[in-house]
Structure 1
Amino acid sequence: MTSWQKFFGLIVGAYFAINLLFALAYVAGGDGIENAEPGSFWDAFFFSVQTMATIGYGAMYPKTPYAHFLVTIEVLIGLLAVAMATSLMFARFSRPTARILFSQVAVICPYNGVPTLMFRAANQRSHKIVEAQIRVTLLRQEVTSEGHQMRRFYELSLARAYSPFFLLSWMVMHPIDPASPLHGETLTSLIDRDAQIVVMLTGLDEAGSQTVHASYLYAPEDILWNHRFVDVLTPCPSGARYIDYPRFHDTQPLSLENW
């Protein structure tokens, strides 16, 4: 999505470009603007500005059929341009932003005795995301029995893929059991097979009931084996909890006896 600076730059650039083109057209028509100096580009330019914005100061006005014809076209273009700019502006303001923070790394550590792939997400919005769902997909390069190389997609089952409302943080977990596509994989094998883990989160904005979505990509080098995430949920005296964002991506290694 285009940044606000680029968006306003495009609007301003289009505004000046249209007025410059019409100014040249007015100058090409000769002495067609009353009270304007004949052949003056700047008089024609400012007349174009007044015409497009329908300001109508009254000092300058068209006096030839050619000038009247240009004014008719410019007013129509001005109305359409204002309508389009207003629609684009409204769409940018009304479009909800996900503002989902994913941990920069994922970890593999035991959970209930089973090696588990984990990463976490945090909702940085001021209100909840309802009906939140997460899908995690493994992409890796494979060679068929005929020797053809192809990119395969594998859905990773999650301990919890749905949340009725997503308010603070979400620890996403995939048990690496014998049925898991990650079973038997190592860091070296994932790198050799050019593997990637794609995360997609969708939900509904609580305020506007509009769909929000966010995505993230983990490379094999982003997965820390035999690590766990540090706790970032801190209780307040009032009983509420908040997230310690400076430690959101932090992990700590586990001793071998934990495996």
Structure 2
Amino acid sequence: MFSYLRKRFASHIRERSRRRARLVSKDGRCNIEFGNVEQPRFVFLIDIWTTILDLRWRYKMTIFISAFLGSWFLFGLLWYVVAYIHKDLPEFNPSINHTPCVDNINGLTSAFLFSLETQVTIGYGFRCVTEQCATAIFLLIFQSILGVIINSFMCGAILAKISRSKNRAKTITFSKNAVISKRGGKLCLLIRVANLRKSLLIGSHIYGKLLKTTITPEGETIVLDQVNIEFVVDAGNENLFFISPLTIYHIIDKNSPFFHMAAETILQQDFELVVFLDGTVEATSATCQVRTSYIPEEVLWGYRFAPIVSKTKEGKYRVDFQNFSKTVAVETPHCAFCLYNEKEAKAKEKKGYDNPGFVLSEVNETSDTKM
């Protein structure tokens, strides 16, 4: 009993580790990390805009808040220093005729409030810069310019993060499994994809990459070798009318890497099929890419997708997403090679064949009847 449980546990661990060994997750995220990078980390600061956009929301909001609070506090210290040097603070007991650089700055708190009012252009009218100090005028101009730059950069980064086409890609969904069955008399690998919004993706294009480990004739092992997989739909794979779910398919012919696979051996294969959908968002004209992946356990041989589009009594077309990833078992050849051999055999049955062993011999007919 203990031996049986140990084998089941080891098999479960192997199966689980195999399922996790994928480059692209189902939601399109890439499972890869970089090690021993020789370039220093500060090179990412050269392209600071992309670095800020790629940050997660918690880090982005931390930088957003820190940028404003930090600049307000820093300039508050500078305004306090200006008031301290010019002896405008109450502890210096200025005379009645004394004209301060900034009116009504009595300490660090009031200097911080004046810094905030200046940078965000509130202007309550209680604290203001006088013409007494050139230093204060220069500091006011410098803070106003820097405040505009900070506002533009940080607000632009937040807006760009919200409107990124990456979020539009989340409303494009792929079927949980890929299926292999006959379509149009050919053995095909089929995948279903749907657009959850009524707005279209303009100029959509679908293609795939088969990732596997190969060994070259020279003995070199190539990990994650990429093989192009062509996907088509009945209307063509360019400029798709992507208003309803589509079933894309790859024809398994002699040029396909799936040609030598069979229903009994596909689970023993080590590959990952990555599917890409590129398009332009109709509302923003921004390009986006959606991707997902399938491993051998997610490719079902001998199945097809259940229909999901129907027509209501009111004349509308209804899409039932409850059956979006539902599959139905169908009769399917267990390998592509067998299907093509079957077609060739049927084609030969319709033709005549010469028997090379057949010899035609002429027989001379003689009449033994005598008159």
- Indicate the TM-score class for this superposition, using the shorter chain for normalisation: 0.7 to 0.9
The reply on whether 1:80 has 2:156 as its aligned counterpart is no
Asked whether the equivalents of residues 174 and 193 of structure 2 are also in contact (C-alpha less than 8 Å), the reply is yes
- Identity value in percent: 28
- For 1:199 and 1:25, how far apart are their aligned partners in 2? 56
104, 119, 127: which one aligns with 2:191: 119
Aligned to 1:60: 127
Amino acid paired to 1:24:
L
CA deviation after TM superposition for structure 1 residue 126, in Å: 2.1
CA deviation after TM superposition for structure 1 residue 94, in Å: 5.3
The reply on whether 1:176 has 2:252 as its aligned counterpart is yes
Larger Rg: 2
The reply on whether 1:109 has 2:181 as its aligned counterpart is yes
The reply on whether 1:152 has 2:225 as its aligned counterpart is yes
Q: Tell me the TM-score normalised to structure 1 length.
A: 0.84
35, 42, 51: which one aligns with 2:104: 35
114, 122, 129: which one aligns with 1:47: 114
202, 220, 228: which one aligns with 1:130: 202
Q: 1:58 to 1:8 in 2, by over 3 A?
A: same
Q: Tell me the TM-score normalised to structure 2 length.
A: 0.61
Asked whether the equivalents of residues 168 and 242 of structure 1 are also in contact (C-alpha less than 8 Å), the reply is no
| TM-superposition CA deviations, 1:143-163 (whole Å, max 9, x none) | 112221113221112333224
The reply on whether 1:21 has 2:74 as its aligned counterpart is yes
- For 1:225 and 1:67, how far apart are their aligned partners in 2? 77
- For 2:214 and 2:240, how far apart are their aligned partners in 1? 37
CA deviation after TM superposition for structure 1 residue 215, in Å: 1.6
Matches within 5 A, 1:193-208: 195-208=271-284
- For 1:175 and 1:71, how far apart are their aligned partners in 2? 69
Asked whether the equivalents of residues 135 and 200 of structure 1 are also in contact (C-alpha less than 8 Å), the reply is yes
Asked whether the equivalents of residues 206 and 232 of structure 2 are also in contact (C-alpha less than 8 Å), the reply is no
- For 1:2 and 1:105, how far apart are their aligned partners in 2? 32
- For 1:165 and 1:212, how far apart are their aligned partners in 2? 16
CA deviation after TM superposition for structure 1 residue 35, in Å: 0.6
- For 1:2 and 1:229, how far apart are their aligned partners in 2? 39
The reply on whether 1:247 has 2:300 as its aligned counterpart is no
Unaligned stretches of 5+ in structure 2? 1-53, 89-100, 334-371
Amino acid paired to 2:227:
Y
Q: Count residues in correspondence.
A: 252
- For 2:57 and 2:310, how far apart are their aligned partners in 1? 35
| TM-superposition CA deviations, 1:82-110 (whole Å, max 9, x none) | 22344335545655423211112211222
Q: 1:92 to 1:224 in 2, by over 3 A?
A: same
More strand by share: 1
